[in-house]
Structure 1
């Protein structure tokens, strides 16, 4: 009987800076729940950064180069 492996890219890097992966048989684990929680937080943060970025770009006042640099950094995180 063969078991199907599930490989998941985790939302953090390993100690050497390389991508971290979780290989499982598809069942939920403490580590997969932690990854789910971190990914949900990342998505919520990304939505907020996009919302604020859109507001800044649609403002009547033109953003400064520093503000654009800052928001670009946040968008790429």
Structure 2
């Protein structure tokens, strides 16, 4: 495995929008714990937004501006949740392949 195979995709991007990775480590260091917390917060925010979206759509009393904002917010949340799923899926594959790389399957 090359070093990128042993890397953890982090739940944030660089200032120019490029993916950030954590190489090596035990999965229990400061950056890993920070990433775990941020992933959990992103997943919780997405769950809350899904509930808000359901209530908004069920009310049938929304304006075009509200729907536009809802679509924007849902896209942002889905992008973050997708990144979390990619990261966690990659870590699970590492564990299944025996690569480990020190990453935990959070």
TM above 0.5, one fold?
yes
Q: Which runs of 5+ in 2 are unaligned?
A: 77-106
More helix by share: 2
More strand by share: 1
What is the CA deviation profile of residues 46-74 of structure 1, one whole-angstrom value per residue up to 9, with x for unaligned ones? 00000000111111x33211011001111
Is 1:37 aligned with 2:37? yes
Q: Which runs of 5+ in 1 are unaligned?
A: none
Is 1:19 aligned with 2:24? no
Indicate the structure (1 or 2) with the bigger Cα radius of gyration.
1
Structure 1 distance, partners of 2:12, 2:53, is 25
Tell me if the contact between 1:6 and 1:26 (Cα under 8 Å) persists in the aligned partners: no
Higher relative contact order (CA 8 A, sep 6+): 2
Partner of 2:7: 7
TM-score (norm 2): 0.61
Q: How many equivalent residue pairs?
A: 73
Structure 2 counterparts to residues 63-74 of structure 1, below 5 A = 63-74=62-73
CA RMSD of aligned residues (A): 1.8
Detail structure 1 runs of 4+ shifted over 3 Å in the superposition: none
